[in-house]
Amino acid sequence: MYWFPLLMMGIAALVLLAAYMGWGSKPAPIEVGFFIFIFFGLLSLPFYKLTITVTEHYALASFGVGWIKKRVLIKDLDLSTAEIVKLPWYAGIGYRWGSQGTFLNTRPGPALLIKTHNKYDEFFVGTKNGPEIIKVIEQVKTI
């Protein structure tokens, strides 16, 4: 999701340039430009990538620096429910709530959905590497 921080920083740089150059009938002070630049930078920091990690205990998906994440115990995952779902463009990006559960997504397209044994939670992430992640989780569950 590299385009999101680039878009945010591009807009912020344009606002900063407008404040510096005094564009408009009521130009903003340069301090406002700096504030918006910093704000947009901090806003894009949590969303610049989606990392999926499988450890011996957890399946973890986290955005950016790890502030926004979803963690599910490996022993709770029901691999018989694992499926690759195609997310449409209107499903959106980010930490989303949908009819199939809560998912983390950075772009439309394939997503991995694995329900838990209690059916109240799921590991649902947008990724093109779904089959490989299923294999890794299978290997970890057999240990």
Statement: residue 56 has pLDDT above 90: yes
pLDDT in tens, 85-114: 998 888 888 888 888 888 998 888 999 999
CATH domain 51-142 topology: PH-domain like (2.30.29)
Query: For 7-140, where are the E strands, in sequence order?
Result: 50-54, 58-63, 68-73, 83-87, 94-98, 101-105, 109-115, 122-126
Cα distance between residue 25 and residue 32, in whole Å: 16
Other CB atoms within a 10 A radius of the CB of residue 56 amount to 8
Q: Model confidence over 60-72: pLDDT tens digits?
A: 999 888 888 999 9
Name residue, tokens 């301090």.
31
Q: What pTM, to 2 d.p., does this model score?
A: 0.76
